[in-house]
A and B are shown apart, each in its own frame.
Chain A
Amino acid sequence: MNTGVLTYESIKEWKEQNISTFKNDLIGLNSFHDQIMRKVLKVAIEKLNKGEPPCDFSWFVTGSGGRFEQGFISDQDHGMIYMEDSEECHLYFKALGEELADGLAFVGYPYCKGYIMSSNPLWCKSFQGWKEQLLAWMESESWGAIRYLQIFYDARVIEGEEPYIKQLKTVIYDYQLEHPKLLKRFLANIMHIKNIIGPLGQILVERYGTYQGCIDLKYSAFVPYVNAIRILAIKEGIYETSTLARISQLTQQKEYGQLLQNCEQNFELLLKYRLSLYKVNDYSDTHYLRIAGLEKEKKKQIKQILKTGVRIHDEVIELIEKGC
């Protein structure tokens, strides 16, 4: 029942009623997710009952949400940057982060298994704290820290001050200019991709289980594109988060013309394929595309998408390894 008062319940209801209208519209769907999250923030601040935020802040999403590539359902991935490095702010935003994670979970975004949520102190920091943390991550070069840095690079502001993220990403950009080894280190987390094209050029489908005969679009197709393009974006200091926007920025630079040939069309097609997999009332099968029943033409197209992904992934690795 809509009483006009904004609550988690009413947001959830609104989400469920309207989400199916974005069946064929990825941009619309992602903007819709943004709207929901903003509403959740509003309710969270009210529920917290500690008044308005004590200083300027920036609430960001990362992961597929950050890249504007979110499907109908996905885990929450978000973090918080606040300007003042004071005890009052620490306490306020920590409590707000926790409320946000619970609120999002209520509305239908499952908790992030990797704890990339504003409720986690690692992902809820003052601007200064973030700066120090990013530097520490870059210096430590541990596998986990490198992973966090790449996740952070996909961050996009949902609500609050826009420039913070950009300034923090500049910290990464500047550091890697001075320490070219860092980019090589970034490769460590993205070297492995699921083997999807066999030696005879065949598509390697799932052998067992409910998805027998399918391919996992997320790991086999998206991951090579997204990871390779992200590394180039870090290298070139591109602040855009969506993979398509990154590609179009990169292709403006001559040196990537050859490398990124067919990349944009293929990635767009891939997004369309993935969206076509969603069934309105069943959110589970979202990443698996059945290959067996596919028309010949489509099979060919998929193969082309997969092959291009693997090629770009391999060539970017080679480029980074050579260039540093």
Chain B
Amino acid sequence: MDATYLMNSLWTMVAAVLVILMIGGFILLEAGSTRMKNAGHVAGKTIFTFGLASLVFWALGYGLIFGGNANFFTGMTDFLYSGDQVKDAGLATTVFFVFQLAFAAISITIALGGFAERAKFSAYVVFTILFGILVYPVIAHWIWGGGWLAEHGKQDFAGSTVVHLTGAMAALAATIVLKPRIGKFNKDGSSNNIAGHNQVYTALAVLLLWVGWFGFNAGSTVSVEDGFFGFVALNTNLAAAAGAVAATLISWIVLGKPDIPTLLNGALAGLVAITASCAFVDVWASVVIGFIAGILTFYSARFLESRKIDDPIFAVSVHGIPGMWGTLSTGFFATKELATVGKPGLFYGGGLHQLGVQFTGVLVSGLYAFIISFLILWVMKKVMGGIRVTEEEEIMGLDISEHGSYGYPEQMVTQQKDTNVTASKTHVSS
């Protein structure tokens, strides 16, 4: 058997494992950014939705993205993928399948971040299925599955748009439909900081995601040819670094103190932004792209808050806005030599053409993901008798209300006892 075929398969399999480990990053990210009473729920549901998304991807998602007999929206073959190998492919199709499955799983995980701390568990179940059929595959087909945006020359190497923007737009729809968490905004229009319970988790999450991103971006070469994955990895690391530094600086300048959540988001924003452009731009440009993403995430988080949109784990400001910027960035920075898809960007003599292509791609994909997700959630809300837990359940926490056990039993049971004591005292005195 051809050594290159084996090497490509092996490299892509390693990358797939790295991407799947990013799910662990998201567990820590979401758990660390939310309160103790929801920690077990966050961790458990993330594993569950990865499982469910895998099944949906196997049954339908893969075929909808990459299948034959395609219509405008999706492919129509290869459902319930049997493990067949495509002839003359550069790597094992099974490996490619697992790699793509991991991407689909990351996208839904990002989307579900918008549900944090207040959605019913059943809402996670239904949305994971519908997103995996109606939202993600359509955009992935358009850009990666030979759809109209692919033909258009849209550059999105590893999925700033396909994975991150799509997930973030669904998260935005969710957070709008679900409405802010209890206690996030006050009647007088001011907002409160609902601090996450563990910044160490969040920081470890960022590190895990950062490392996983080498699988995400460098792995998206799905080939070892010329060792190009090294170049992609280099760009990826520098963008993350620049994002972290930029976000730290901007928060220091504006808030007077370097803000930890902002700093962590900055690294992620750099990674999200470079995802589209990592294979198309020079090394210095990846620093610029990451740096700008770090600034953007800071201001977009502030903007969302000022619009009374509760984005509990910054899904929109980390994956959405930097995802848009990252996709647009190739319209400026894609070089002649590297633009193997599409054309060079504005700064490399390509004029406005590629920027226009990128803009169209972002606009159409973003709108599609938002509108369809919004409709799905709206219908779910009507049919399921609401997708948000009751006020009482939200206050007691989803660990106990949705699952019957706590992620931190010792702390939470003690707290509950205290609450009961206070409640009984109140009853006595009134």
Contacts and interface: CB of A to CB of B under 8 A. Distances in A.
Interface in A208-248: 208-213
A207 interface: yes
Contacts of A210: 186, 188, 190
Interface in B244-272: 252-257
A198 B255 contact: yes
Nearest to B254: A198
Contacts of A196: 256
A5 interface: no
A195 B190 contact: no
B191 A208 contact: yes
A272 B206 CA distance: 48
Interface residues of A, number: 15
Nearest to A214: B190
A293 interface: no
Contact of B190 (A198, A202, A208): A208
Contact of A204 (B186, B191, B192, B256): B256
A210 B191 CA distance: 7
Contacts of B255: 198, 204, 207
Nearest to A194: B256
B253 A208 contact: no
A178 B191 CA distance: 53
B193 interface: yes
A211 B193 CA distance: 12
A144 interface: no
A199 B190 contact: no
A198 B186 contact: no
Interface in B214-271: 252-257
Contacts of A208: 190-193
B299 to A, nearest CB: 14
Contacts of B192: 208-209
B193 A207 contact: yes
A200 interface: yes
Given A207-B193, A208-B193, A198 B256 contact: yes
Contacts of A200: 253-254
B232 to A, nearest CB: 36
Contacts of B186: 209-210
Contacts of A197: 256
Contacts of B254: 198, 200, 202
A197 B193 CA distance: 21
Contact of B252 (A199, A209, A211, A212): A199
A212 B186 CA distance: 10
Contacts of A204: 255-256
A311 to B, nearest CB: 16
A212 B253 contact: no
Contact of A212 (B190, B256, B257): B190
A167 B58 CA distance: 87
A25 to B, nearest CB: 30
B269 to A, nearest CB: 20
A211 B191 CA distance: 9
A179 to B, nearest CB: 36
Interface of B: 186, 188, 190-193, 252-257
16 contacts: A196-B256, A197-B256, A198-B253, A198-B254, A198-B255, A198-B256, A199-B253, A199-B256, A204-B255, A207-B193, A207-B255, A208-B190, A208-B193, A209-B186, A209-B191, A209-B193
Given A196-B256, A209-B193, 4 more contacts: A199-B253, A207-B193, A208-B193, A209-B191
Going nearest first, the 7 A-B pairs with the smallest beta carbon separation are: A212-B190, A208-B193, A195-B256, A204-B256, A198-B256, A199-B253, A208-B192
